[in-house]
Structure 1
């Protein structure tokens, strides 16, 4: 069994923020304050690719993206259809706002200006070492702009994006592009979505958009399991809840109370 210290557990989970869904303000802030090998500017392109690949549906619930549905309704009226040419009218009251979710978070790989030069901060270097404990090829898979490739992203509802970013749900590969999706704590009482479910992920006909990487999903699975087994898990959960209650969302430039916390724990 892989052993990971409480400090390292806190580091990994604290850095696993939701993928920034960019606004014009956060876009300009990211340009000014952070230089990254994977950049927030690429997220709109990543979102378009993932939505196209995943047929504008959450890979878990299969709910259709309501923003896309509104566009199609405006264009085609009540004859609006999904990507498989089926009518969207029967599911008009069962849609959701969808988001792109990085499997390995964008903030983990981004560079920060240190003494006027773009560098990888010490706490992120430590996080890379932890990733490599799970898979020695992990960092190479998402180096440079590969962090923002569709192979490192899923289309999820907002609620599932939050759970996925907290390592509270995981994907277990059971066949080619097929996963059993379940809560890490299978006896969980409060369930936003009914799980487990088994889903075969969609592929584009010409395979011009990469499917989610099984290697990266296996890493996420391993981290989630390890955090669940650790006594540090409950502490991490409380910290993240407190951070959110205080409005401490992680911004696209990577700044938040999380980083202050990580720096403090590494210095301790």
Structure 2
């Protein structure tokens, strides 16, 4: 079995010849705006962050980001754009434990119209079809983990002496737009709008014909511990020049020392059952881009360290020496002052381009489903 080596760096995706001129024009527009930016201080990473995001977006996403940056009237709006990408794209994708972060609104005008359109859709519960979905994914993936080829422990027809594991149906895009309370539905619409804006190839995959994140091409079978690693973006699947062949790329925060030697260097992502489509390459590209951005910007490590403050027996731990960055903690976990002091009520604030959204929202983003036997 091919062994897996840790990523030595994050390379920019290759630019197809047919899109080279489009990419070049977007890059020139983006970098021209960034060159005019005046950093607040040595800790201001706005330029590095936006350059890194641009680097790993698909071509049309690069065009949109360049347009959005160019339309920022001042540096405050450019910082707001960076914060929006962080809170509406990166942090929701990596959030675990039922906590979802508060979103900084986009500085782009008329963004609310698109969000309201998303809010007009109603969808089935994302848990209603879990059992049926898992059975279909097991059949499509040949009852094997996609990146180790370990067999499902409960599959009686597996080869003798084969490696086995408890397999789980891992979502590639980990959250959905469901029929929550109004503030939650608005928040999820903001997340989806950000995804559609910068990854337009997935726009037609959701929010039509009652499709949600439980569509089968948004799910693949992984060993349970790898499911958690995938949700933390500790590894990604990068598309290669060969159709259906993906490079299994790990990052430094990958924790599973037992399964790591068994992970393939290149995984074949295909369907073993003609009734079901293979995991969608555009959705895998979103996951890969987010993973690369988290690694290149250092925001993945920042989010992980901030989430670590939630350790212990479900508590929200603050360092005794006062070193905890409470603002970062709140933005990552979705906690509000109300979570710290239930008697506190913050006054309502009006945003220039967006309604205020409550920050303490329950959720189940990318949580491994309970084992089905």
Q: Settle same-fold status: TM greater than 0.5.
A: yes
Distance 1:97 1:156 in 2: 8
Q: Give runs of aligned pairs for residues 95-110 of structure 1, distance below 5 A.
A: 95-105=164-174, 107-110=175-178
Distance 1:101 1:190 in 2: 17
Q: Does 1:44 align with 2:131?
A: yes
**CA offsets, 1:100-136, max 9 Å, x none?**
001001x33223033xxxx753332221133124312
| Structure number with higher strand proportion | 1
Residue in structure 2 matching 1:262, options 319, 327, 334:
334
Q: Give runs of aligned pairs for residues 152-231 of structure 1, distance below 5 A.
A: 152-174=218-240, 175-185=242-252, 191=257, 192-194=259-261, 197-205=265-273, 207-231=274-298
Q: What displacement does 1:193 show? A: 1.3
Q: Does 1:126 align with 2:173?
A: no
**CA offsets, 1:16-63, max 9 Å, x none?**
97xxxxxxxxxxxxxxxxx84352011111100110011110001100
Q: Against the structure 1 CA distance between its residues 241 and 146, is the aligned structure 2 distance closer, same or farther, given a 3 Å change threshold? A: same
Q: What displacement does 1:140 show? A: 3.0
Q: Does 1:89 align with 2:160?
A: yes
Instruction: Identify unmatched segments of 5+ residues in structure 2.
Output: 1-50, 55-81, 99-121, 316-328, 338-356, 360-373
Distance 2:255 2:212 in 1: 37
Q: What displacement does 1:177 show? A: 1.5
Q: What displacement does 1:217 show? A: 0.3
How many corresponding residue pairs? 218
Q: Does 1:145 align with 2:232?
A: no
Q: What secondary structure is seen at the aligned counterpart in 2 of 1:89?
A: coil
Residue of structure 1 equivalent to 2:200: 136
In our comparison, the structure showing a higher alpha carbon Rg is 2
Q: Against the structure 1 CA distance between its residues 170 and 258, is the aligned structure 2 distance closer, same or farther, given a 3 Å change threshold? A: farther
| Alpha-carbon contact 1:128-1:139 (below 8 Å) kept | no
**TM-score normalised by length of structure 1:** 0.69
Aligned-residue Cα RMSD (Å) equals 3.2
Q: Against the structure 1 CA distance between its residues 170 and 113, is the aligned structure 2 distance closer, same or farther, given a 3 Å change threshold? A: same
Q: What displacement does 1:247 show? A: 4.2
**TM-score normalised by length of structure 2:** 0.51
Q: What displacement does 1:196 show? A: 5.7
| Alpha-carbon contact 2:170-2:219 (below 8 Å) kept | yes
Residue in structure 1 matching 2:93, options 12, 25, 46:
12
Instruction: Identify unmatched segments of 5+ residues in structure 1.
Output: 18-34, 73-80, 83-87, 249-256
Distance 1:16 1:132 in 2: 25
Q: Against the structure 1 CA distance between its residues 97 and 259, is the aligned structure 2 distance closer, same or farther, given a 3 Å change threshold? A: farther
Q: What secondary structure is seen at the aligned counterpart in 2 of 1:37?
A: coil
Q: Against the structure 1 CA distance between its residues 218 and 245, is the aligned structure 2 distance closer, same or farther, given a 3 Å change threshold? A: farther
